[in-house]
Structure 1
Amino acid sequence: MAQAIRHPLAQNRLYSIEDDGRVRVWADGVSPETEHWGLFDNCGRWLGGKLRHADPQMCRFIFARWILNQATAKG
């Protein structure tokens, strides 16, 4: 998992990218036992997890960074 990025407006949300390109959003400040997170595609559509809402623009932003890193790594 890559470095998490905190949402600039919703400060309690952390966005990170999975190895397969899905975006994981964590609800910060929730007890770890609840596992309050969600998986989303690059357009912000919910794929799984308890957290069902994400900022589509943040999902696109973090996904685009992942794509650029993948292209750079391949040469």
Structure 2
Amino acid sequence: MTRRPYISTPEEIVQDVIASARLEGQTLEPEAIAVARRIANGEMTSEEIKAWQRARVAEIQAEARSRK
């Protein structure tokens, strides 16, 4: 008897992302959870994901510079 592989639902994937962040001692902003949900549902292309990541990194860097 061949066992079928378990395939996670999009919501399970999002919950795993949230749990992983918590294990690392982090909390995710609602925007990041919304993006994770869009990715899990296949609603973002790889280019859109990369653009969001670049924009987010730029925001974080700007915040860090303003604190100095």
Whether these two folds match at TM > 0.5 is no
TM range (shorter): 0.3 to 0.5
TM-score with structure 1 setting the length: 0.36
Larger radius of gyration: 2
TM-score with structure 2 setting the length: 0.39
Larger relative strand fraction: 1
Larger relative helix fraction: 2
